[in-house]
Structure 1
Amino acid sequence: MDKTRIISLPTGAMHEMCYIVKDESTGLGAVVDPGGDSADDGKRLILSCCEREGVRVAAILLTHAHFDHIMSLEALRDATGAPVYIHGYDAESLVNPELSYMSQFAGIDTPCRPAEHIIDEGDKIEIGETIIEVLHTPGHTPGSVIYKIDRVLLTGDTLFAGSIGRCDLYGGDELAMSDTLRRIKRLAEQWNVRERDVKLYPGHGSSTTLSRELDNNIYLR
């Protein structure tokens, strides 16, 4: 991770987190989950941070297609020209403001445009010299993903500090979430997190580590 930096950016009243993955060798970056209280507010926060940190936005990555994680997507996309990446199972929700809850919770009926790139399990996204791996983690939504960069996970609304994402919204699936959590436990063992931990950056709230969640998160016991 010496060549990559994760910049955490709270963007809205729902405590949603946007992350900027900066490739230090090139200055290129990926914006993960561009939220905000409004499209303009979110765009302004994100672009100001990118300017301050010397980041040129090369990609916009979505962990899933709920409104609080895409509020400033179109404004940021227009400002940067960066392509959007999303899992295929959430692609329909992205372009449907009812399925993304944009119309119900934000009062916005204008759909987002389709993503330029449809991603799936095992795909790798290159941002400069930084490699971002896609882990498909259904449960919160059918197309939820975690982005893995070395020993860092950007977990979206799959896994939080002390909790997990809800499964009672459109496409949510408790059985799929249970399978996802079992998989995370298996991966933690493969990654030997007790010897060398993995940092977690969730879609809401504070960062944590995988070993801490294994010890304290009741959903991973």
Structure 2
Amino acid sequence: MQAFHIPGAAPLYTNTFLLISDAGHAVVIDPAADAQTYDKILKEHHVPLTAILCTHGHYDHVGSAKALQAEWNAKLYCEKADLAGDRMYPLSAADCGYAEGESIAVDELTFTVWHTPGHTPGSVVLLCGEYLFCGDTLFAGSIGRTDLEGGSSAQMAESLRKLAKLPIPRETQVLPGHGEFSTFGDELDNNYFIRSAVRGNNDLF
């Protein structure tokens, strides 16, 4: 596998990722950058884009999703709860959502999906090998906002409790939607919000 980290445009600098399987198929997670940015990598490596995986539907994470879907005939994944078709949630349709605990396979790449509502109703995290793509559920030392439309502090607390119990190796790389990277072990040990949620506190703010 080859993995590419592609920061989105200023001022939000959304973290977005492109993975290429050993067999030569590509997956984009949270297509926040311009479509041409992904096209350049895909064409340089002579690989087609097979799947687009959105961790949630906010505008700063799905900006080029429809353009890439149309250009490459790629399968677009986003939860129905985040398909409002408005300014905050610009996508109005996707090929499919996610089933809890399902595995999405692209060649040797396998993405295991868990629902983590709180930042948005349709937020998910995606585990692929040594990478945990967290969107805006979990940041290094922090979590995503819950005070935006569709957010819920109580749901976020429950999602963090779920995350803490998942069979994810401590050395797994936490790749959030914004900011620096971390490891799952570091977040379990040092993230105030996870530790507080595990103790049963739903009032995170």
The TM-score range, normalised by the shorter chain, is 0.7 to 0.9
Partner amino acid, structure 2, of 1:97:
D
Give ranges in structure 1 of 5+ residues lacking alignment.
37-41, 103-111
Give ranges in structure 2 of 5+ residues lacking alignment.
196-205
TM-score by length of 2: 0.87
1:11 matched to 2:8? The reply is yes
In the alignment, the residues of structure 2 paired with residue 202 and residue 183 of structure 1 have an alpha-carbon distance, to the nearest angstrom, of 17
User: 1:88 touches 1:120 (CA, 8 Å); kept in 2?
Assistant: no
Q: Secondary structure at the match of 2:60?
A: helix
Q: Which residue of 1 aligns with 2:27?
A: 30
Q: Which residue of 1 aligns with 2:19?
A: 21
Runs of 4+ more than 6 Å apart: none
Tell which deviates more after alignment, 201-210 or 140-149: 201-210
In the alignment, the residues of structure 2 paired with residue 181 and residue 61 of structure 1 have an alpha-carbon distance, to the nearest angstrom, of 21
1:51 matched to 2:48? The reply is no
How many residues align? The count is 194
Identity of aligned residues (%): 35
In the alignment, the residues of structure 2 paired with residue 211 and residue 54 of structure 1 have an alpha-carbon distance, to the nearest angstrom, of 36
User: 2:59 touches 2:88 (CA, 8 Å); kept in 1?
Assistant: no
1:174 matched to 2:153? The reply is yes
How far residue 21 of structure 1 moved from its aligned partner, in angstroms, is 2.1
User: 2:169 touches 2:184 (CA, 8 Å); kept in 1?
Assistant: no
1:145-184 aligned within 5 A: 145-184=124-163
**Whose helix proportion is higher, 1 or 2?**
1
1:74-89 aligned within 5 A: 74-89=66-81
User: 1:154 touches 1:201 (CA, 8 Å); kept in 2?
Assistant: yes
1:48-197 aligned within 5 A: 48-90=40-82, 92-93=83-84, 96-100=85-89, 112-187=91-166, 190-193=167-170, 197=171
Residues 51 and 206 from structure 1, CA distance in 2 versus in 1: closer, same or farther, beyond 3 angstroms?
farther
